[in-house]
Amino acid sequence: MIYSEKVMDHFANPRNVGEIENADGIGEVGNAKCGDIMKMYIKVDNGIITDVKFKTFGCGAAIATSSIATEMIMGKSIEEALKLTNKAVVEALDGLPPAKLHCSVLAEEAMKAAISDYYKRQGIDPAPFVGEITPHCDGETCGCDVNH
């Protein structure tokens, strides 16, 4: 598999790794059967994501997509962050091999799950803003390159 220089850079030097104590929102997505689990933490101040951290258990592409996704939403409003798509993550990394595209979906889902959690903690129904978050991997057939 050939990875872009940006993927290799974010894998070797991931940005925003760790967790945020007293995070305003935490999202965890993935499936242990797939081998990729992402957890994203956000801090929100006046509707702006002022800090974001992640912990990812997975392949290099999963780490790279988590890393760049955190960079792409840092300092953005929640509304702007919710516009982040897995396609934008892939483009920011100068592409991913087809078998690794699901990693970018996980990064988008982790971010949306963290924002959804933020809304719930504020006593707001996240569905109108975030929509339904349906896990991309049911542990059976998700298109990952892992045999389930």
Q: Which positions are catalytic? A: 34, 103
Residues facing 36 on adjacent strands:
31
Other beta carbons less than 10 A from residue 99's beta carbon? 14
Q: CA dihedral in degrees (32, 55, 143, 5; nearest 10)?
A: -140
Nearest to 83 by CA among 73, 96, 68, 70: 73
3-state secondary structure of 71: helix
